[in-house]
Structure 1
Amino acid sequence: MELVLQQLPSLLSAVWWPFCRVLGMLNAAPIIGENMVPITIRVLLSVVLAVIFIPVAQPVTPIDPLSMEAIVITLHQALLGFGLGLAFHLIMAVMQLLGFVVSSQMAMSMAIMNDPMTGTSSDVIATLLYLLCVLVFFAIDGHLILAQVIGASFRTWPVGGALDIMTLRDIAYNVAWVFSAALLLAIPVVFSTMVVQMSFGLLNRIAPALNLYSLGFAAIIVFGLYMLGFLVQVLPAHYLRLTQQVLELLRLKTG
């Protein structure tokens, strides 16, 4: 019993470093880091993964768990894990921004509802695209990809190593990539609905007596739903391409 108590601090220290990194990643990761997953589930999952990653998560040098260095390394592990999870969360941000742009062009942005998955208010189209991406995420074993990435990060950025500012900077710069990717996906719907709006505006100039406001409102919604049907068909392939782009970014930094 005394031998177990003597080894307990070293065992807890070995679990603590991977636990901080895994918990930071799960809090920022898509779906798992949303409000619909209780924090207790994320903590328990982090403990399980931390125990699994003990063989590859050993510190470079011995660390005193009660020192100021241990506090700094704890923050380092949490920040690094948060950055890795944020890189995958940006893909979901692309889809939600796409849904907001499309619903704005379809005049459906007024249909705002409280989203229990993200804890914020979102429109119907954004929620629909989010649910589609959730299905694609689990269809491609996205949870296993997250586990593989966090496991490979311990070999590339070992515990106690230098803080990789370049990787965190590149992840922050990819916020601009979110807006560009969402805009490229929304261009067909935006352009087609703009053509319909210009057509009804021209008719309104030709025949002002007609009540084209109510007619054009319904026509834009119907035409927008028609274009959304084509967009949904190609959206899973775009989601896979964006995921591959994030993996290439992390592989470039880990290679």
Structure 2
Amino acid sequence: MIGSFWWPFCRLMGAFIVMPLLGNAFVPVTVRILLAFSLAALLGPMLPPVPQVDAVSAGALLLAIEQLLIGFMLGLFLSILLHVMSMLGTIMSMQMGLAMAIMNDPANGNSNPILSQWFLMFGTLIFLALDGHLVAIGILVDSFRLWPIGTGIFDLPLMGLIHRVGWLFAASLMLAIPAVLAMLMVNITFGVLSRAAPSLNIFSLGFPMTMLMGLLCVLLSFSGIPSRYSDVCLDALTAMYQFIGGSA
């Protein structure tokens, strides 16, 4: 009976370590533990029979680590999903010349351009508005049926998870292409202008215009990104579901 609560708790806790919002350093560890324990207590009576393993044996330790890793990989899908918006902000900041405007992020232990933090917050709100967090928890619950405890970890499609890293760059570039092309046209225009009028101080004129054009692209992006980002969220959640053997 203890195992029916402990193994689900390990898998849920592994997912909550890296999941957006819950995996943030500002969320106390106690909150994550209590949430994982509450869900495990609710799921315990409904799960298939768990393996009978001695609680103080090496097999129990390996099984706990296995469940932590499965939950970690499931939560990693959502972490990659939200980093699409962070990468989008980085690409647009570099095109605008705002890459030097860096803000330290103590929650994640890194430094990102301010625009990346802005887009990351926007993407998180879109994800919550689409009830993506409820769908993700539902997939975690279904994982105990689709990939029962004790099935193993090496039979999972691990290459599919690795390919999501490439998908991260592709999705962020897809969202940033309109702004990148607009900024490229601005740079080409000022390049032609500098050749036509060499005496013109292109730096004093080009940087403010590039900045204004970049801010206009950001304004237009905030109105067009939600519909595209919803498709990205659906793709990430579908990949998360298929990773544990579900069918789309």
**Match in the other structure for 2:85:** 95
Shift of 1:61: 2.8
Which ranges in structure 2 are unaligned for 5 or more consecutive residues? none
Aligned residues: CA RMSD? 1.6
Q: CA deviation at 1:167?
A: 2.7
Alpha-carbon distance between aligned partners in 2 of 1:119 and 1:58, rounded to the nearest angstrom: 39
Distance 1:15 1:61 in 2: 12
Identity of aligned residues (%): 36
Letter in 1 for 2:191: G
1:1-255 to 2 correspondences below 5 Å: 10-11=1-2, 13-252=3-242, 253-255=245-247
Larger Rg: 1
Specify whether residues 65 and 59 from structure 1 end up closer, same or farther in structure 2 by C-alpha distance, changes over 3 A only: farther
Q: Structure 1, residues 134-192: CA drift from partner, whole Å, max 9, x if none?
A: 21122122322222111000001111123254333211221101111111111111111
Decide whether aligned partners of structure 1 residues 161 and 172 sit closer, same or farther in structure 2, where only a CA change above 3 A counts.
same
Separation in 1, partners of 2:83, 2:18: 12
Matching residue's letter, 2:30: T
Cα deviation digits, residues 48-76 of structure 1 (max 9, x gap):
11111112445443121111111111111
Secondary structure of the residue aligned to 2:238 is helix
Deviates more, 1:128-137 or 1:97-106: 128-137
Shift of 1:119: 3.0
Deviates most, 62-71 or 164-173:
164-173
In 1, Cα distance between the equivalents of 2:36 and 2:206? 52
User: In 2, Cα distance between the equivalents of 1:193 and 1:246?
Assistant: 29
Aligned residues: 245
Q: Contact 1:56–1:154 (CA<8 Å) still a contact in 2? A: no
Do 1:29 and 1:89's aligned partners in 2 also have CA atoms closer than 8 Å? yes
CA–CA distance in structure 2, aligned partners of residues 65 and 112 of structure 1: 49
TM superposition shift of 1:238: 2.1
Q: Which deviations, in whole Å up to 9, do the C-alpha atoms of 1:68-126 show, x marking residues without a partner?
A: 11111111100100111001111111111111001000001110011244332111111
- The one-letter code of the counterpart of 1:254 is G
Question: Does the aligned pair in 2 maintain the 1:189–1:224 contact within 8 Å?
Answer: yes
- Structure 1 residues without counterparts, runs of 5 or longer: 1-9
| Cα distance in 2 between the residues matched to 1:44 and 1:77 | 18
Letter aligned with residue 15 of structure 2: M
SS at match of 1:114: strand
- Secondary structure of 2:104's aligned partner: strand
Distance 1:46 1:193 in 2: 46
